[in-house]
Chains A and B, each alone.
Chain A
Amino acid sequence: MIVFILRRLAQAIMVMLTVAFIAFMLFQYVGDPVTNLLGQDATPEQRVQLRADLGLDQPFPVQFAAFVGNALQGEFGLSLRQGRKVSSLIVERFPATVELAFGAALLALCLGIPMGVYAALKRGNFLSQALMTFSLLGVSLPTFLIGILLILFFAVTLKVLPSFGRGETVAIGAWTSGLLTADGWKHLILPAVTLSIFQLTLIMRLVRAEMLEVLRTDYIKFARARGLPDRAVYFGHALKNTLVPVITITGLQLGSLIAFAIITETVFQWPGMGLLFIQAVQFADIPVMAAYLCLIALIFVVINLIVDMLYFAVDPRLRIDKSTAGH
């Protein structure tokens, strides 16, 4: 167990170092940082001075170590476009993205699991077939199109929901939350639904497939033979066993939710990190891009690590496989 954790940790650190290296290369070699800071018409002396101040005349490994050191403290320099500290820009945008992503994840779980269970239990009836068709559509429609369709229907035609921004927010320390006002909740609905549709269909199909698999096993037949009511069989025995893969996939998908939030945030002008990143890409704002890259990589690595360990803890078979088969 300890060896496994250590190996995963070492792998995670390797990934983070690689990503940090890419971010560092971006910083140093894409666009000239000295020109970026001083402007085109600086004297050669000024340039040499700044070069020394920034440590750019130091050997490569020293520079990289300094970069990693700064990155660990959350320092990525100034945004080229806005002239503000990248770290404060990200801190400002972080809550919006987190609230959106968790809203979407919650929605996907709370709707996806019951829908999947229903589609498995009532296989072949009209509603469950409709659900399956809907899920096929959810997979093949691109996210931004779903957002546009929702806006067209709920904001333009029916005029019941707002279509851009976060609405009223309340600041709790550094964290601005839209969840404490009715207006904030109203603004959250369309973006969260848009972001959740893909994950929702994924979870629904997964739960359905797993349920069908489990319902065929012997212990379900025995549970029935013992005279347990359907309710207890389905929810106490069958559903419980389908949840392990569901939790794993949902955990892994949480990362891609944050990535796909880029698209949703653009459609709904949601002031989160994704919108910040897109603007950085449009204007080639390297420090913001590098910081976003490192942050996303960190989120991904941490989620992967947690899911791996959860899986390891939950499924004893994995332990045997790993130790006998090696890696």
Chain B
Amino acid sequence: MTTAVQRFFDGDVWHSFRSTPLAMAAAAVALVLAFCALFAGWVAPHNPFDLATLELADARLPPAWIDGGSAKYLLGTDDQGRDILSALMYGARISLLVGVASVLLSVVVGVGLGLLSGFAGGSIDAFIMRVCDVMLSFPSILIALLIDGVGRALFPNAHDTLAFAVLVFAIALPGWVQYARTVRGSTLVERNKEYVQAARVTGVSSLRIMRKHVLPNVLGPVLVLATIQVATAILTEATLSFLGVGVPPTRPSLGTLIRVGNDFLFSGEWWITIFPGLMLVLIALSVNLLGDWLRDALNPRLR
């Protein structure tokens, strides 16, 4: 393990990271945001879900630097007196959770089907690729909405866990296509290489060839795709939640916060909407920048 870490710090990727200020800045921002989100329970100044600490007298306070704001609530409060800053941290936690979970799911499904498609060939390959074509011709938000709607019809009384599972599934399903296509492409290339043929001749099983020889070769592009997809997944989740079909309202994500704040836009309480929106853009932008850098760093042709 120590050697692996050592190798990483001596390697090209780390060097490229150290010489790209934009990537370092994006990583720093992403790390701070992720830290605040993951440890929201300790970092956040208030607990927005603890009804005992909410005071309606504190409702709709503006941010601290505006007249009428209080230093107790740095970014102001919403209609129920919840501290916006704390709600942001808790909300980001849910956004990140859903985003990462759905990307993991689509990576597993996509890589699996891509390997199968590339290795099996024939009618299985043709079928999987046709499905990919059809899915790619529709915008992912539409597919996600549809699955979400079907999930709602199937489980009308879904509570927390099930509702989250449906949401993760809805975001993950349009996502696997890209992994499947990438992995299939690489698999087709690797499959015909001599070392794979040699392994086959010596009687190594297909499953083992996939795992030991093909998989390591396709992980680079998959990693790049996954990074960028985390940002996309978080934005999709926010959009679904904003449309009112995302996470259950008891566990508000950033999108839910924006949706709630939207109702107060006309009475002048812009901070309830704008700060969650800012947080969302900050997360998406930093993850996207990291993904861009990773793509360049892992691409041997650009070195």
Identify the A interface with B (CB < 8 A).
15, 18, 26, 30-31, 140-145, 148-149, 151-152, 155-156, 255-256, 259-260, 262-263, 266-267, 277-278, 280-282, 284, 286, 289, 293, 296-297, 300-301, 304
Contact = CB atoms under 8 A, between A and B. Distances in A.
A286 B151 CA distance: 11
A319 B107 CA distance: 37
Contacts of B149: 280-281, 284, 289
A149 B273 CA distance: 9
Given A26-B153, A155-B266, A267-B262, 6 more contacts: A140-B281, A140-B285, A142-B235, A263-B239, A263-B243, A266-B243
Given A140-B285, A140-B288, A284-B152, A148 B273 contact: yes
Contacts of B141: 259-260, 262-263
B268 interface: yes
Interface stretch (B29-37, B90-98, B132-140, B219-227): B132-140
Given A145-B277, A262-B141, A304-B137, A156 B154 contact: no
Contacts of B281: 140-142, 145
Contact of B258 (A144, A260, A286): A144
B265 interface: yes
B284 interface: yes
Given A152-B270, A300-B138, A30 B150 contact: yes
Contacts of B243: 144, 262-263, 266, 278, 281
B85 interface: no
Contact of A26 (B150, B238, B284): B150
Contacts of B154: 30
B256 to A, nearest CB: 12
Q: Would you list the 6 A-B pairs with minimal beta carbon distance, nearest first?
A: A281-B149, A284-B153, A259-B139, A284-B152, A30-B153, A256-B139
Nearest to B148: A281
A66 to B, nearest CB: 22
Contacts of A142: 235, 238-239, 280-281, 284
B134 A15 contact: yes
A31 B262 CA distance: 33
A144 B242 contact: yes
B259 to A, nearest CB: 9
Interface residues of B, number: 36
Q: Majority SS of interface residues in chain B?
A: helix
Contacts of A304: 137
B289 to A, nearest CB: 10
A281 B145 contact: yes
A286 B145 contact: no
B145 A262 contact: yes
Interface string B284-301: 110010000000000000
Given A18-B134, A144-B239, A263-B141, A281 B262 contact: no
B36 to A, nearest CB: 20
A281 B152 contact: yes
B68 interface: no
29 contacts: A15-B137, A26-B150, A30-B153, A30-B154, A140-B288, A141-B281, A142-B239, A142-B280, A142-B281, A143-B239, A144-B242, A145-B258, A145-B280, A148-B262, A151-B265, A152-B265, A152-B273, A156-B266, A156-B268, A259-B141, A260-B139, A262-B145, A266-B242, A281-B146, A281-B148, A281-B149, A284-B153, A301-B137, A304-B137
Contacts of B273: 148, 152
A37 B187 CA distance: 51
Nearest to B276: A145
Interface in B249-276: 258, 262, 265-266, 268, 270, 273-274
Interface in B109-163: 134, 137-139, 141-142, 145-146, 148-150, 152-154, 156
B153 A300 contact: no
B245 interface: yes
A30 B243 CA distance: 22
Most chain A CB neighbours (cut-off 10 Å) among B142, B235, B273: B142
Interface in B24-46: none
Contacts of A301: 137
B137 A148 contact: no
A30 B262 CA distance: 33
Contact of B277 (A26, A148, A280): A148
A284 B258 contact: no
Nearest to B273: A148
A157 B189 CA distance: 58
A279 to B, nearest CB: 9
B239 to A, nearest CB: 6
A151 B267 CA distance: 12
Q: Which of B235, B238, B268, B288 is the most central at the interface, judged by chain A CB atoms within 10 Å of its CB?
A: B235
Which of B149, B154, B288 gathers the greatest number of chain A CB atoms within 10 Å?
A: B149
B285 to A, nearest CB: 5
Nearest to B155: A284
A156 B264 CA distance: 11
Contacts of B138: 259, 296-297, 300
